[in-house]
Amino acid sequence: MTTNLRPSLLELAKQQGAIALLSATIEFLERNNVSRRLALEFLQQHSVSENSRVRLRDYRKLVCAYEDMGMIMSTWFSSPRFLDQESRPLRLNLARGTQSIRNLVHSSRVKISATLAVDLMRRSPSVRIDAQGGFVALKRVFVLPDFEVPRAALVIERYLDTLRRNSSAQRKGTTLLLERNCHVPEIDLRRIAPILRDIKGRGTAFMDSVDGDIEAHRTRRSRQKGVGELGVLIFAWTHPSKLRRSKSIPKSHHQSRK
């Protein structure tokens, strides 16, 4: 009796999905000037140990500061004390007072210091420093140049944790976290731009609303027991598909879509 040793479709999909995930990660790191050697050395030596946690301390510290800056910018664009009569963010200064960066940081109830917030603002295109040294908010979303790798790590860590928790919840019959996506595999390229504009507008309005709801529940004491983390992520993607060749069309007549 011959035993069928061929892997199932689910097993093949799992293996090839792992390859796709690793390939995309390595390609992304290389595009951001992170050597493939670093990834390979980590895979060879990987172990969840105290040493690995120590090595990630600087990354987690910077990510926390980055997230706090998002809260600071949200406060700057939404709190009446930092808006003018036309609901535009006020110009802030470094001195003490109601219209100062120090007061903005304090009002945002974040953990980072005003000194670190100022340093990050100076590096960000979301804030402009005028000729008098005043700080002018340009974008509600806080952006740091060359921060793609830490941002990707932040998102992927939390997404994979969401998948793990949802898998466990399905087995136990408990409440699932929100984890959905919708897409169409083929769409006229000319229709993408207007659809994306609509998605961006509605998605931004939704995130601004959610941000306000979540921020209203932020704890005031950083060392309070029984606290957790809550967040929402939205992103859109486009990917040009390769034009499928028809068997009825000779190869010499095939044209690829630009």
pTM score: 0.68
Residue 253 DSSP code = G
- Using an 8 Å Cβ cutoff, are 232 and 180 in contact? no
Question: Cα–Cα distances in Å, from 174 out to 25, 134, 146, 168, 205?
Answer: 32, 51, 40, 8, 30
Give the whole-angstrom CA distance, residue 157 versus residue 179: 14
Q: Radius of gyration (Cα) for the chain, nearest Å?
A: 24
Instruction: Per residue of the chain (258 residues), give pLDDT as tens.
Output: 445 567 776 677 777 877 888 888 888 888 888 888 887 787 777 655 555 555 677 788 888 899 899 989 999 999 999 999 999 999 999 988 899 999 999 999 888 999 999 999 999 999 999 999 999 999 998 998 888 888 888 888 888 888 888 888 878 878 788 888 888 888 888 899 999 999 999 988 888 888 778 777 777 655 667 778 888 888 888 887 765 444 443 443 333 333
Instruction: Please report, for the chain, the start and end positions of each structural domain, with discontinuous segments joined by +.
Output: 12-46, 57-137
Alpha carbon distance 150, 79 (integer Å): 29
Name the β-bridge partners of 92: 135
Helix (H, G, I), strand (E, B) or coil at 127: strand
Cβ contact 100:72 at 8 Å: no
How many residues are given for the chain? 258
